[in-house]
Amino acid sequence: MGTGNLIHLIGFFLVSLILISKTCMASIQSIGNIRPGFQGAQMTFIDKNGLFLLSNNSDFAFGFRTTENDVTLFLLVIMHKASSKIIWTANRGSPVANSDNFVFKKDGEVYLQKGGSVVWSVNPSGVSVSAMELRDSGNLVLLGNDNKVLWQSFSHPTDTLISNQDFTQGMKLVSAPSANNLSYVLEIKSGDVVLSAGFPTPQPYWSMGREERKTINKGGGEVTSASLSANSWRFYDNNKIFLWQFIFSDNTDGNATWIAVLANDGFISFYNLQDGGSSTASNTKIPNSPCSTPEPCDAYYICSGINKCQCPSVLSSQNCKTGIASPCNHSKGSTELVSAGDGLNYFALGFVPPSSKTDLNGCKKACLGNCSCLAMFFQNSSGNCFLFDRIGSLQSSNQGSGFVSYIKILSNGGSDTNNGGSGSNKKHFPVVVIIVVSTSVVILGLLYVAIRYVRKKRKAPESPQETSEEDNFLENLSGMPVRFTYRDLQTATNNFSVKLGQGGFGSVYQGVLPDGTRLAVKKLEGIGQGKKEFRAEVSIIGSIHHLHLVKLRGFCAEGTHRLLAYEYMANGSLDKWIFKKNQEFLLDWETRFNIALGTAKGLAYLHEDCDQRIIHCDIKPENVLLDDNYHAKVSDFGLAKLMTREQSHVFTTLRGTRGYLAPEWITNYAISEKSDVYSYGMVLLEIIGGRKNFDPNETSDKAHFPSYAFKMMEEGKLRNILDSRLNIDEQSDRVYTAVKVALWCVQEDMSLRPSMTKVVQMLEGICPVPQPPTSSPLGARLYSSFFKSISEEGTSSGPSDCNSDANLSAVRLSGPR
């Protein structure tokens, strides 16, 4: 018995010793570098405050830090230990839990996990990696076997620059989002260093070229790089010739380490990182004036100094709101321009080109005619007209700005500031009158329609009941585009002689109105499905206006004729430009990227900015049209499905186009706006690769392009994904971003796909794009066989009927069909 107890005691002691040993080993901080095979989470290094790698001089540390708003979430950062200032962040937009691992694999791949996904990664495929090193400068580098730098944090800054870090053309500093979800961006553009507000259309508000406090060392050059040196920010041209200097401190200590931080208020501040647990902030900021940033006050408020904000008198009775929630949705009333007052300025006016040169009336007309325009500024001396689709704070100007400013508001949201003392009877009287008059007009209108219908029925020969009901439906639609007669469009198209293309529901013809306006006239052929498409297009497109959506100018509903008249798009559809083998038709990468971004913005508007969420259901290159300047516009809403904001998913009776259908169309799952995201991802891949998403003429591993793209991304062979005809740097951030965004969009699991608004933000560089997870082998096999069967039928671009039981679940939500 004694011997047995002794053996158990020794065994317990040994096991405890092993466990203690492993625990101690797991929490040992590395100095200088870590080697492949390393892995750790915040909880592993909790006794080291989550920091697992120190620089040799111990000034900097790499590891996990809690977020400001939630101590249970963590960021992977490089920080200056003494001051606790964070100088670089890997996963700013995707904080992780204390159990999520940072992994440095033996093959050299580095990544940060969040649950089962990867939120940040570095993958130097095909190159041997020896170590990850945190240098005394604060630069985190990945080294090859020959000590060559394969990757470095200095080349991928977040919102901070540090002494001796080169900031070059193509890099961006992006601030954390403000309280109004606005980020700010610093970049080198057109030979200058520029700060911009990250609106959908960026608005610059400062540039070093216009900065009066800088010292010019050599004029005439174009800036391509900048770095902090001692107490100044220095700017160089392509040949490293010293051009400008911006001195931000009187401290001339050459050994001082400074950082420049782009904060979420839009200012750049400078800090001296000192020992002793402090960092001294310089009094110098960029820009200099407290009112020179986009949001010193809320939108439309007038800034006149630090914390001095005043609402324009024209909006004072409306709580400084214009009443416009969605600029291009007029369902809540018409809009008008009201004067914001004289002597006002706006931060972007000195940096953006004018929208046009005209007179004041012409400028007002341009703003009223553009649903995206929320405010306009007109300069009497030059005739320059500036239109803005987003507005930040306004600026007061004691000396007068020389601009006349107008704000767009809802017409029915005007103020009563001109009225004298008003009692309740006076306030209610106009309301009563409006109700009475409106009711009378509606009754008279109904009587008029009924009389006209009876007379027509007596004169006209008997027609099918369905057609008559549909005509009445169209007659009573409010807010419709221009209604043409069949003869009008027959004449405009020269009897439909110039055919532009063939769609799933009819042919499209070129037309010209008597006033010279060019049209694309879609002649619907067929009754059943064609009429469904007609009803959807006329009721939806007619009320929607956006820069990246094709505008419906008119329609024809005469007898059995159903025609749609769109604005004419001179360069036709996208497929004609990306699938052609002739170099003459080749679009360069910049144009392709802008087309992809414009298409994403159009879809984001349909999904997020309409009162009712709109699912397109048929995104493909044939439905992306290009104007004279190759700006993209999404067309063909015949398959669109309306959703209320309360509905998250809907089963539809609509049709999509095979080859671009999301997996849920085939696997009996609910259809949502994420189905459009999948189709967009397919189109984005085709834009990047210049080929169809399924090509039976390719080898088996290349035939299904998304599967091939996932494989090439994993192997680090980005060049193989890109269109071989393009002269393009595959190391470009934009190229890498576009590929990753496309692969996120075509995820088989719809919950993993980003929203279109997130897609726009990722493409614009406003938020980071993590490494996409690999699509499942099952999904790849399913789609390969699906596309193959389509190919054998002869085409992959015709509309497929998704009404069958194979595509729709037996469970259906109530709602519009």
Give the residue ranges of the annotated binding site: 523
Please provide the DSSP assignment of 768-800 as one string: --PPPPPPPHHHHHHHHHHHHHHHHHT-SSSEE
In degrees and rounded to multiples of 5, residue 712 shows phi and psi of -65, -35
Q: Are 583 and 725 in contact (CB under 8 A)?
A: yes
Is the backbone of residue 170 left (phi > 0), alpha (psi -120 to 50) or beta? left
Distance between CA atoms of residues 491 and 489, nearest Å:
5
Q: Which residue, chain included where needed, has tokens 């600029």? A: 327
Annotation marks residue 253 as catalytic: no
Distance between CA atoms of residues 780 and 663, nearest Å:
10
Q: Which residues contact 666 (CB under 8 A, 6 or more apart)?
A: 782, 786, 806, 807
The alpha carbon of residue 553 and the mean position of all alpha carbons in its chain are separated, in whole angstroms, by 27
Distance between CA atoms of residues 206 and 196, nearest Å:
7
Distance between CA atoms of residues 551 and 566, nearest Å:
6
Please provide the distance, in angstroms rounded to a whole number, between the alpha carbons at the two ends of the chain: 80
Q: Which residues contact 631 (CB under 8 A, 6 or more apart)?
A: 547, 548, 594, 595, 598
Query: From the annotation, which residues make up the binding site for ATP?
Result: 523
Distance between CA atoms of residues 230 and 699, nearest Å:
58
Q: Which residues contact 614 (CB under 8 A, 6 or more apart)?
A: 540, 544, 606, 607, 637, 640, 641, 642, 643
Q: Which residues contact 1 (CB under 8 A, 6 or more apart)?
A: none
Report the relative pairing of strands 499-503 and 506-512 from DSSP bridges: antiparallel
Q: Which of 488, 618, 636, 676 is catalytic?
A: 618
Handedness of CA 433, 435, 440, 445 (dihedral sign): positive
Strands of 30-31's sheet in order across? 30-31, 51-54, 60-66, 74-80, 85-89
103: tokens are 């992994």
Residue type, 290: P
Name the 3-class secondary structure at 275: coil
Residue type, 39: Q
Q: Which residue, chain included where needed, has tokens 């691992």? A: 101
Beta bridge partners of 564: 522, 555
465: tokens are 């009941």
Number of H helices, E strands in the chain: 15, 47
Torsion of CA 566, 570, 574, 575, to 10 degrees: 100
SS (H, E, C) 108-144: CCEEEEECCEEEEEECCCCCCEEEEEECCCCCEEEEE
Q: Which residues contact 594 (CB under 8 A, 6 or more apart)?
A: 630, 631, 632
Name the E strands within 352-420.
356-357, 375-379, 384-388, 394-396, 403-410
- Neighbour count for residue 104 (Cβ, 10 Å): 21
553: tokens are 């100018």
Handedness of CA 790, 794, 796, 797 (dihedral sign): negative
Distance between CA atoms of residues 735 and 374, nearest Å:
33
Distance between CA atoms of residues 808 and 652, nearest Å:
8
Report the relative pairing of strands 302-305 and 394-396 from DSSP bridges: parallel
The candidate with the shortest Cα–Cα distance to 125, out of 139, 111, 140, is 111
Q: Are 523 and 502 in contact (CB under 8 A)?
A: no
Q: Which residue, chain included where needed, has tokens 């409010």? A: 478
Q: Are 699 and 733 in contact (CB under 8 A)?
A: no
Q: Which positions are annotated as active-site residues?
A: 618
